[in-house]
Amino acid sequence: MAGTHAGLYGGSLILLNEAWYKDYPKSNFQSFNDWPEWLQVDKVGHAWSAYQLSRASYAGWRWTGMPEKKAVLTAGLSGFAFLTVIEVLDGFSEEWGWSWGDFGANALGSGLFIGQQLAWKEQRISYKFGFHKMVYSDPQLNERSDDLFGSSLPERMLKDYNGQTYWFSANLKSFFKQSKIPPWLNVAVGYGATGMFGGTENIWEDPQTGETINRTDIPRLRQWYLAPDIDFTKIKTNSKWMRSLFYVLNAFKLPAPTLVLSNGKLVVHGFYF
Alpha-helical segments (H) within the chain? 2-16, 41-63, 68-91, 100-120, 139-149, 153-159, 172-175, 240-249
pTM score, whole prediction? 0.93
The alpha carbon of residue 60 and the mean position of all alpha carbons in its chain are separated, in whole angstroms, by 21
- The residues spanned by each domain of the chain are 1-123, 125-273
The mean per-residue pLDDT over the stretch 238-250 comes to: 95
Q: How far is CA 29 from CA 22, 81, 125, 199, in A?
A: 17, 18, 37, 21
| 75 in Cβ contact with 54 (< 8 Å) | yes
Alpha-helical segments (H) within 184-255? 240-249
| 73 in Cβ contact with 114 (< 8 Å) | yes
Q: What is the pLDDT of residues 97-117, one digit of tens each?
A: 999 999 999 999 999 999 999
> Model confidence at 8, in pLDDT bands (50, 70, 90)?
confident
Q: What is the pLDDT of residues 59-68, one digit of tens each?
A: 999 999 999 9
Determine the Cα–Cα distance for residues 33 and 199; give it in Å rounded to an integer. 12
